[in-house]
Structure 1
Amino acid sequence: MALITKIREKSGIAAAAIAISLILFLIGGDIFQGRSSFFGGAKDAVGEIGGETIKYQDFQNKVDEITQQYQQQSGRSPGEQEVSMIRDQVWNQYILDLAYGKEYETLGLTVSPAELVDMVQGTNIHPSVRQQFTNPQTGQFDKNYVIQFLKNFKTLPAAQQQAWVNFEKSLSQDRLRLKYENLLKMSTYTTNVEAQKDYVAQTSKVDARYLYVPFYSVADSTIKVTDAQLEEYLSSHKDLFQGQTTRSIQYVTFPVIPSKLDTASFYNDLKRLAKELAIAKNDSAFAMMNSDVKTPYYSTLAEIPEAVKGQLGNMTPGGIYGPFKNGLTYSIYKYGGIQKDSLFTVRASHILINAPKDASDSVKATARKRAEGILAQIKGGASFEAMAQQFGTDGTAQQGGDLGYFKNNGGMVKPFENAVFAFSGTGLLPSIVETDFGYHIVKVTEAKTNTRYKLAAINRTIAPSQSTMDEVLRKADAFAAENTTKEAFEASLKKDKTLLMLRGDRIPEGASSFNNLQNARDIVRWAFNDDTKVGSVSDVFQNDNQYIVALVTGSTDKEKVKVDDFREELTARVKGDLKAEQIEKKLAGISGTLEQIAQKYGAGALVETATDITLAQGVLTSAGADPTAIGKAFGLKVGKRSKPFKGEGGVFIMETTKSTPAPAIADLTLYKNTAKMMAGQRTSFYINEAIKENAKVVDNRAKFF
């Protein structure tokens, strides 16, 4: 996705710190309410990093310090997501100081004052600085804005000065992390043997015929599995069943839905607003003032909802249109005509064949040839979207190559942008486009346009009245009061079929949501409370537009893995082994051709053929991507047959009928570079996990917040 985002995203802990520092510097926030009365003695540890205990009060003091700065600058309270981000920043700062800091110190890594100046106002401006000091007229970074800000720095309020100091500190930490990661990235390499292995896995092929008896052909009712067998399997496969501390719950939801009276009142209000919008002298201001969800007056085609977009051709200036429904929000529009913008907007898709600008000529030539071959197939009738999913090498591949809407303002690399905006209409660009990222096959899906539409939109969300909410709460309270035990809870569900019961399985301790419940932290915290046991029933929780009463039905502990924690998966695996033994025993006594064996075996046995199987992407007809069977096909000599063996989903007898070795290749650079690139993409994650593991990070925040 580098083409789309232009490296605007940063992975890892330091990036999170930068993001929050920017928010603090530019907007601000509120102060959290302390909870010190909840904690004391040995129970006040928020966590432990590198052998150092982080006390709740110390942690909260840092949170308070940041949120005070936040509040002073914005004058508003943070939302729940902002609250979580600020806490994460404080925690991540501890990790940077106590875990990463030791690594930097050991290696002698520092960021000099000169480097910091260079990142802020020098030659190598940090992306975060570029993002914030942008000229609104040109949309480009303007160094003069930075210089002017720094000249006036001492005249700024103390809170904003401190926020800038924190921001610069986060820039230094980001640079330190980048240096550290680059050191490790540069230490990774791919040998010729590894590259040759990847090449062979992708290009060598075999054809095979095989007999396949899937496990599902044997009825589960004929296989008896005991707890002793499950215990034995769990004991011998501990690496496959890693424990996790979780809770499982059942919960009854009482949705708060607008009543008929609420709905009638809402529609009357909407009709009144439509009449007033029609005669309003300043329609855009009137719409903004009366909207629950505010939308811009001038909108490009890309910004207009699909339902409205389809009606634009029928709209006349001054007309009122709608209501248009989107979920619980209804919108009415007053159309004011069109305006031409200085920028064009277009929607396009692409298939990127990766070939970095520093790649060798042979790698680029191979990539270009591959791109031209794909382009030729699409011109011949192949689906662009299917080819993108199969051959695309960036994050758009799974979306059929869709890049969404973008403007000709430098959001894309220049050669790509020039090619797309030089194209008229929609359709496939006739030639590939070369950029520093590689070669692109491009399809314009919505033609470029610089038309903006004047739409004064009143967006109102229908909501239940207070009396409706009170009535639903009364019902939820009555249910909670009458069903305080597991037995009573379940009996009520059986008795009253109108109650909506849902399950939340294996909810982790730090979860803030589960199923379709967002902002459900209070429910999770209750489920993990020391006083909450399996069988406990909660009081009433309010969650957005519903009330909830929950029952804890199960718990797991990462330190004490039990059969019940993985019963279904263990049972399926043990049944698979028992079925395999049964099938193999029956097949062992049968001889003849595969067809004869299948006939003698009886129902369930399939004989199939697979051609051009590769190790990297081999797929069998009924069995799918079964690595055991595919590996066996490559391991057999042509004309040889295997004995019955267990695969992932059944038992096979494999015959290899043809083998096509990978052609000799002189230059493995493409495969080495691909492997190196993929390893580099994983480096940040692996470094972070390794450092946390080495520092023995224990995160207990979920018990406090």
Structure 2
Amino acid sequence: MALINKIREKSGIAVTVIAVSLILFMVGGDLMGPNSMLGGGNNQVVGEIAGNKIDIKDFQTRVDGFRQNYEAQSGRSLNENELSSLRDQAWNQFVVDIAYKKQFEDLGLSVTDEELYDMVQGNHISPSILQAFSDPTTQRFDKNAVVNYLKNLKTLPIEQQKSWENFEKSLREERTRSKYENLLKLSTYIPKAQAEKEYVAQNTKANLRYLYVPYFSVVDTTIKVTDSQLESYLSAHRKEYKGTDTRSIEYVTFPIQPAKDDSAALYTEIKELARGLATAQNDSAFASMNSDIPLPLNQTLGTMTEQLKEAVKTFVPGGVYGPYREGNTYYIYKYGGTKSDTVSTARASHILIGSDNQSDSAKTAARAKAEGILAQIRAGANFEALAATSSTDQGSAQRGGDVGYFPNNGTMVKPFEEAVFSATATGLIPRLIESQFGFHIIKVTDTKSNTVYRIASIGKTIAPSQATRDEAYRKADEFVNSVKTKEQFDEAVKKNKALVVATANRVPESATNINAIQNGRDIVRWAFKDDSKINSVSQVFETEEQYIVAVLVAKSDAKDVKVDDFRDELTTKVRNEIKAEQITAKLKGATGDLETIAKKYGAGALVESASDISLATGFLTSAGFDPIALGKAFGLKPGQKTGVFTGENGVFVVELISKTEAPKIADFTQYKTQLTQSLEGRMSYLVNEAIRDNAKIEDHRAKFF
């Protein structure tokens, strides 16, 4: 009901000169802007979809409609990130209206009024309606609330009636698209031969030995790669390297950091607040009124900062503590004691090894990899380092696997949550935990606790004074006025030891942030302007925390792929080809068993064994999953040995020791189901990509926003 309630609420010469000035001020942007007629550009096309040009006015009208609905529902104005998200929604709506609807119409797909009624107040309620008309406390859906709302709809303001009309339109579109995707899913067919092939790949087992010389055994610096070699490789593999429009910049920042006077003034203020907090009859209300940052009254260890977590151990009920400084914020706390809660929290880190699909072969491969990593950790390997390099959960991998504190209320998947909350001590859980996402290797870093701390908190952030901001701008302005070229930029940086050059490579035209710089759209738009040439220096850009001066160092063009666009990747590919040639030449003609050949080769050659592996789950100890090596091995007869060949990550000689063929079976239904489910799971993504590719979409929004 929360959404619906919000829909319901919610001298003559002098005068002439001034008037002309005001008019020019108000319309100057339209007359002289980069996309204006007088400014030299009258292109008002924001993009093209399936040959249909999208005019900026039409696009903005749709964005404005989304914004009105959003603000009516939320009761507040949007911030820039939310507005950017609505622009994406508006653009995607144009894609649906033009590219998708043609597909729908060709198939005769539609949603009738009767279907819509059934989705809104019938027997098959749409999830969107369920969410909108559910009690926020009990989460129970009330169909009568829908009926009553619709009965009174015509008495509501026209804006709210329009909002409901748009809401119903989105329900129709959602159902039509669902029909389309389900139709394609139902058309999925896996022939018996493919299912049989999958069965054989999973169940034919082999034992083999192999000689492996990895590319990394040859030092990179010993291999010289020329530009002509890179050009030749790119020319031969051009389809693999899709071009994009990007810009690379270097930049220096002039931080707007509070000065000592700013800090001293705030410190004095917060000491006064500490005295007020100590004597306040309603300490929570006092804290809320005076804090720059909304802070919860009741906290668990999971919601506390590391500094507060340590400090609270020494707190006595009724005491006021602080100020504590974290970054540019001072905190003071009034401690009110503890109580027990029905919900516990704990903290853990994990390494997730996910599978490419839900087939048994993929799961077996993922389990084998996870077991190998778990064994390494139990043998003393660093958990955080392995999380960073091996975990498929990229969000936590960047933090060494840390997922932070979480409650035992279903926030995490059930197997993961149960494993962590059943632990009685911190440390590694000595077994794999399987969930729908894959296999988890878990380290409990803080065991469960249901203690809640009552802390009235005030946080006051040091804000730089205008004098401080002016001084930072003066330095940036002085710098930019002294440089006009990249060479002068570099010389000025060398002279100013306080400046550090940062690099942002291959920034797309749609980017909003540049590295850690938030709201960097102005910099991106400058870099993509036609008159921004390579090695040209920008004006001073301002963000909330710093002034920035940038220099454009490189461009890439989607329609003209160059070696520099992929230099590092191409260099690795060509270098590995050269290494493969050198390793192969050194191994060629060697005779004897694998150990003899390895000994003749010298340092870098490894001889290893692999037991009971299959084509689907073959994992070679040092080489990892190498489909070329596996294919060669399974093509041998027992006792045969391959010649020297190049695999994915090195050069091999493989010897098949024995092979057990998959037993003959008559029913391949299980494997057909696996392959079907895997394909259906990717259907929505594949359909979306196919329709967008077919529509030949050109998105020029970044030139306007």
Aligned equivalents of 1:660, 1:514: Cα separation in 2: 55
Once the 2 structures are TM-superposed, how far is the Cα of residue 181 of structure 1 from its aligned partner? 1.1
State whether residues 344 and 448 of structure 1, in contact with CA within 8 Å, keep that contact through their aligned partners in structure 2: no
Deviating more after overlay: 523-532 vs 607-616: 607-616
- Distance of aligned partners of 1:308 and 1:126 in 2 relative to their CA distance in 1, 3 Å threshold: farther
Aligned equivalents of 2:644, 2:419: Cα separation in 1: 56
Aligned equivalents of 1:144, 1:395: Cα separation in 2: 44
Counterpart for residue 119 of structure 2: 119
Deviations 1:431-466 (A, max 9, x none): x99999999999999888776543322223334333
Aligned equivalents of 1:139, 1:482: Cα separation in 2: 63
Which ranges in structure 1 are unaligned for 5 or more consecutive residues?
Answer: 1-18
Give me the TM-score of the superposition, normalised by structure 2: 0.80
State whether residues 205 and 613 of structure 1, in contact with CA within 8 Å, keep that contact through their aligned partners in structure 2: yes
State whether residues 351 and 401 of structure 1, in contact with CA within 8 Å, keep that contact through their aligned partners in structure 2: no
3-state SS of 1:268 partner: helix
Counterpart code for 2:675:
A
Counterpart code for 1:618:
G
Aligned equivalents of 2:548, 2:474: Cα separation in 1: 12
3-state SS of 1:622 partner: coil
- Distance of aligned partners of 1:497 and 1:640 in 2 relative to their CA distance in 1, 3 Å threshold: farther
State whether residues 73 and 160 of structure 1, in contact with CA within 8 Å, keep that contact through their aligned partners in structure 2: no
Once the 2 structures are TM-superposed, how far is the Cα of residue 27 of structure 1 from its aligned partner? 9.5
3-state SS of 1:43 partner: coil
Once the 2 structures are TM-superposed, how far is the Cα of residue 214 of structure 1 from its aligned partner? 2.9
Deviating more after overlay: 692-701 vs 647-656: 647-656
State whether residues 346 and 421 of structure 2, in contact with CA within 8 Å, keep that contact through their aligned partners in structure 1: no
State whether residues 217 and 604 of structure 2, in contact with CA within 8 Å, keep that contact through their aligned partners in structure 1: yes
Aligned equivalents of 1:382, 1:672: Cα separation in 2: 40
2:225 matches 1:225? yes
2:146 matches 1:146? yes
Once the 2 structures are TM-superposed, how far is the Cα of residue 662 of structure 1 from its aligned partner? 4.1
- Distance of aligned partners of 1:472 and 1:205 in 2 relative to their CA distance in 1, 3 Å threshold: farther
Aligned equivalents of 2:5, 2:556: Cα separation in 1: 38
Once the 2 structures are TM-superposed, how far is the Cα of residue 279 of structure 1 from its aligned partner? 1.3
Deviations 1:215-237 (A, max 9, x none): 34444455443333322221111
Counterpart for residue 508 of structure 1: 508
State whether residues 408 and 421 of structure 2, in contact with CA within 8 Å, keep that contact through their aligned partners in structure 1: no
- Distance of aligned partners of 1:445 and 1:162 in 2 relative to their CA distance in 1, 3 Å threshold: farther
- Distance of aligned partners of 1:353 and 1:212 in 2 relative to their CA distance in 1, 3 Å threshold: closer
Deviations 1:131-151 (A, max 9, x none): 233324424333344344334
Counterpart for residue 594 of structure 2: 594
Aligned equivalents of 1:394, 1:665: Cα separation in 2: 38
Deviations 1:382-428 (A, max 9, x none): 99x99x99xx99999989897974566x9899x99999999898999
2:78 matches 1:85? no
3-state SS of 1:648 partner: coil
State whether residues 426 and 443 of structure 1, in contact with CA within 8 Å, keep that contact through their aligned partners in structure 2: no
Deviating more after overlay: 97-106 vs 123-132: 123-132
- Distance of aligned partners of 1:397 and 1:502 in 2 relative to their CA distance in 1, 3 Å threshold: closer
- Distance of aligned partners of 1:74 and 1:581 in 2 relative to their CA distance in 1, 3 Å threshold: closer
State whether residues 298 and 455 of structure 1, in contact with CA within 8 Å, keep that contact through their aligned partners in structure 2: yes
Counterpart for residue 567 of structure 2: 567
Deviations 1:574-602 (A, max 9, x none): 22222322222222132222222222223
Deviations 1:254-284 (A, max 9, x none): 2222233333333333332222211111111
Once the 2 structures are TM-superposed, how far is the Cα of residue 250 of structure 1 from its aligned partner? 0.9
Counterpart code for 1:249:
I
Counterpart code for 1:54:
I
2:478 matches 1:481? no
Once the 2 structures are TM-superposed, how far is the Cα of residue 538 of structure 1 from its aligned partner? 0.5
Deviations 1:636-683 (A, max 9, x none): 222221111112232222222233444556664544444333322322
2:270 matches 1:270? yes
Counterpart mapping for 1:301-320 below 5 A:
302-305=302-305, 307-309=307-309, 315-320=315-320
Once the 2 structures are TM-superposed, how far is the Cα of residue 535 of structure 1 from its aligned partner? 1.2
Counterpart mapping for 1:126-525 below 5 A:
126-299=126-299, 302-305=302-305, 307-309=307-309, 315-323=315-323, 327-338=327-338, 344-345=343-344, 405-406=406-407, 452-525=452-525
3-state SS of 1:129 partner: helix
Counterpart for residue 45 of structure 1: 45
Aligned equivalents of 1:395, 1:486: Cα separation in 2: 36
State whether residues 346 and 444 of structure 1, in contact with CA within 8 Å, keep that contact through their aligned partners in structure 2: no
State whether residues 4 and 133 of structure 2, in contact with CA within 8 Å, keep that contact through their aligned partners in structure 1: no
Aligned equivalents of 1:417, 1:463: Cα separation in 2: 42
- Distance of aligned partners of 1:541 and 1:660 in 2 relative to their CA distance in 1, 3 Å threshold: farther
State whether residues 271 and 323 of structure 2, in contact with CA within 8 Å, keep that contact through their aligned partners in structure 1: no
State whether residues 293 and 460 of structure 1, in contact with CA within 8 Å, keep that contact through their aligned partners in structure 2: yes
3-state SS of 1:512 partner: coil
3-state SS of 2:501 partner: strand
Counterpart code for 1:624:
G
- Distance of aligned partners of 1:57 and 1:394 in 2 relative to their CA distance in 1, 3 Å threshold: closer
Aligned-pair RMSD on alpha carbons?
A: 4.7
2:549 matches 1:549? yes
Deviating more after overlay: 573-582 vs 475-484: 573-582
Counterpart for residue 106 of structure 2: 106
- Distance of aligned partners of 1:401 and 1:324 in 2 relative to their CA distance in 1, 3 Å threshold: closer
Once the 2 structures are TM-superposed, how far is the Cα of residue 528 of structure 1 from its aligned partner? 0.6
3-state SS of 1:513 partner: coil
- Distance of aligned partners of 1:624 and 1:330 in 2 relative to their CA distance in 1, 3 Å threshold: farther
Counterpart mapping for 1:646-657 below 5 A:
646-657=646-657
- Distance of aligned partners of 1:109 and 1:622 in 2 relative to their CA distance in 1, 3 Å threshold: same
Q: How many residues are treated as equivalent by the alignment?
A: 658
Counterpart for residue 8 of structure 1: none
Counterpart for residue 619 of structure 2: 619
Counterpart code for 2:640:
K
State whether residues 8 and 156 of structure 2, in contact with CA within 8 Å, keep that contact through their aligned partners in structure 1: no
Sequence identity percentage: 51
3-state SS of 1:565 partner: helix
- Distance of aligned partners of 1:630 and 1:35 in 2 relative to their CA distance in 1, 3 Å threshold: farther
Deviating more after overlay: 35-44 vs 252-261: 35-44
Give me the TM-score of the superposition, normalised by structure 1: 0.80
Deviating more after overlay: 53-62 vs 317-326: 317-326
Aligned equivalents of 1:524, 1:65: Cα separation in 2: 27
2:697 matches 1:700? no
3-state SS of 1:500 partner: coil
2:640 matches 1:640? yes
Once the 2 structures are TM-superposed, how far is the Cα of residue 82 of structure 1 from its aligned partner? 1.2
State whether residues 476 and 548 of structure 1, in contact with CA within 8 Å, keep that contact through their aligned partners in structure 2: yes
Aligned equivalents of 1:248, 1:175: Cα separation in 2: 43
State whether residues 116 and 172 of structure 1, in contact with CA within 8 Å, keep that contact through their aligned partners in structure 2: yes
Deviating more after overlay: 195-204 vs 635-644: 195-204
